Structures are given as structure tokens and as C-alpha cells.
């Protein structure tokens, strides 16, 4: 990361103020005076401003209740993004851990922890995502067995990983999947001759969407909740 950007991110100083301080020889990196704002620093460097050590803040983790009509992208020319619902410093560092389609609602996780962001949606984490859904046609009870065995999606050459279907009513069910393929839930039901008309993600691993969060609202995660994403609470052995 550029030195001027690093200092601005861990202080209340503007980039303009930081560049002035660099010019005035107020900044040292590992004990050496540095005036170049483009100097690259990382977590191993010791950066001091006027003799005071500067440390990067800890990673940030949030849950957000996504409404319809928003996309899980950093920027989009046609649609509003979930980041337009958030008001945090250094927004450019925040990214979504596992996207939802524009017409899907529910739990979205946001963080600036790159490793955590990639771990949550990765199939190797076996981090099940639970969706509550409604379908256009009656749900065939045999779908539970088919989804547990895996189904082919279109021309893809491998089946989906084992998924758990809990039928709640003729047109309503819970589906827990451990992957995040493109439009996966909708395509799984399409593969068995049905169509999803409503889709809501209510849990990731052992982390449930906070029922106190209205659509469009978000809050920070606790330490226990950060780890709960990788717990398999409520998912039977498949």
C-alpha cells in the first residue's frame, strides 16, 4: 500500500495533509525518514509520525440485510449497490463475501479481510448457506434426494455438491448449499422442472441474519459471529 494512503487510513488526516508531513520529514519507516508518498509499506513495516507509532486498525466485519434491487458489486453503472446502504470510512476496502442476485434478499456479509472474504463462499470451507424460497409449482418430495445426490446445471460437467432440502409446504422450502455457482438455487430447481419465485438467504453456517435488522440496515459482527460463519449448526450430515 502507498505510504500516504496508509497514513490517511489510520489517522484523521487527509491525503493532502499527509503529503505535507512527508515533505516536512515528519514520517519514518523502520527508523528511516521517507518523503515519497508512493513508498510501498506493508504490515511488517513500522511507520511513525512525529515519533508516534501508527498501527493499522483491525479488520471490519458486517452483516447487511439486502433488499431487492441492489447488486453485490463494488460499482455498477446500471443498478444501486449494497455499498450505497453503508456509511463507513475507507469504503473502497470493503467487499462482499458471497454475492446475492439483484432480486434475492437476505444476509450479506461485508468485510475488508481478504482471506475471510474468500473463505466464506469457498466450497472447501463447507460453509453452508441456507435459503428460504417459494416456487411456482408444487415441490416434489423426491427433490430432497436428488439435491442430496447433486444435480447437473445446464451444460456443466459436474454435479452440484450435496445440498439439504427441507420442505416446509407445497410451495415453500429451505435449501442449504455449500457452493455459490451462478444463480445456483434457481438453476437447481430449474433442473427438476420447477421455478423459484422468491429467494431469501437467512443464514451462513451458524450465523443467522439478525431479525432486528430491517431491509437496508446493517451492523458490525461480534467476534463469536465472525467465527460462527464456519459452524454447521442446523445442517445434517450429508
Q: Which residue numbers are catalytic?
A: 101
**Residues 105, 69: Cα–Cα separation, whole Å:** 9
- In the chain the first and final C-alpha atoms are separated, in Å, by 43
Amino acid at each position: 500500500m502507498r505510504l500516504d494512503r496508509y497514513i490517511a487510513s489510520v489517522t484523521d488526516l487527509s491525503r493532502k495533509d499527509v503529503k505535507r508531513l512527508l515533505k516536512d520529514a515528519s514520517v519514518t519507516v523502520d527508523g528511516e525518514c521517507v518523503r515519497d508518498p508512493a513508498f510501498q509499506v506493508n504490515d511488517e513495516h513500522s511507520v511513525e509520525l512525529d515519533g508516534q507509532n501508527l498501527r493499522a486498525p483491525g479488520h471490519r466485519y458486517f452483516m447487511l440485510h439486502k433488499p431487492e434491487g441492489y447488486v453485490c458489486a463494488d460499482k455498477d453503472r446500471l443498478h444501486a449497490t449494497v455499498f450505497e446502504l453503508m456509511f463507513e470510512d475507507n469504503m473502497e476496502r470493503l467487499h462482499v463475501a458471497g454475492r446475492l442476485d439483484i432480486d434475492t434478499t437476505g444476509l450479506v456479509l461485508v468485510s475488508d479481510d481478504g482471506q475471510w472474504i474468500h473463505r466464506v463462499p469457498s466450497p472447501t470451507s463447507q460453509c453452508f448457506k441456507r435459503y428460504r424460497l417459494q416456487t411456482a409449482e408444487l415441490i416434489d418430495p423426491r427433490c430432497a434426494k436428488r439435491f442430496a445426490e447433486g444435480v447437473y446445471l445446464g451444460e456443466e460437467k459436474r454435479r452440484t455438491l450435496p445440498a439439504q432440502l427441507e420442505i416446509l409446504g407445497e410451495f415453500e422450502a429451505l435449501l442449504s448449499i455449500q457452493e455459490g455457482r451462478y444463480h445456483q438455487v434457481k438453476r437447481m430447481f430449474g433442473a427438476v422442472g420447477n421455478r423459484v419465485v422468491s429467494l431469501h438467504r437467512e443464514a451462513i453456517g451458524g450465523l443467522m441474519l439478525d431479525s432486528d435488522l430491517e431491509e437496508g440496515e446493517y451492523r458490525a459482527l461480534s467476534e463469536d459471529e465472525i467465527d460462527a460463519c464456519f459452524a454447521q449448526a442446523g445442517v445434517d450430515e450429508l
